[in-house]
Amino acid sequence: PVRHGLGQFDAAQEGCHTLIKPRASCATTISSILAAEKAAAQIAAIADIDRVKVEVYERAKVGMGTGEHHWHPDSRETADHSIPYVVAASLIDKRLTPASFGDSRRLSDELRGLLPKVDVVTNDEFSAAYERVPVEHRTRVTAVLKNGRQVIGYAGGDEGDLSQPKSDAQIEEKFLALTRGSLGDERAQEALAALWQLDTMADVAVVPTLVAFA
Pairing of strands 2-4, 7-9: antiparallel
Helix axes 83-93, 30-40, angle to 10 degrees: 30
Per-position pLDDT tens, the chain of length 214: 333 333 443 444 445 567 778 898 999 999 999 999 999 999 999 999 999 999 999 999 999 999 999 999 999 999 999 999 999 999 999 999 999 999 999 999 999 999 999 999 999 999 999 998 888 999 999 999 999 999 999 998 776 767 777 788 988 988 998 888 889 999 999 999 999 999 898 889 888 988 887 6
Measured CA angle at 77 (ends 75, 78), to 5 deg: 70
Q: What is the DSSP string of the chain?
A: -EEETTEEE-GGGGGG-----SSSS-GGGHHHHHHHHHHHTT-S-GGGEEEEEEEE-HHHHHHHSSSGGGGS--SHHHHTT-HHHHHHHHHHHSS--GGGGSHHHHT-HHHHHHGGGEEEEE-HHHHHHHHSSS----EEEEEEETTS-EEEEEESGGG--TTSPPPHHHHHHHHHHHHHHHH-HHHHHHHHHHHTTGGG-S-GGGHHHHH---
What's the whole-model pTM score?
Answer: 0.81
Neighbours of 208 (CB within 10 A): 8
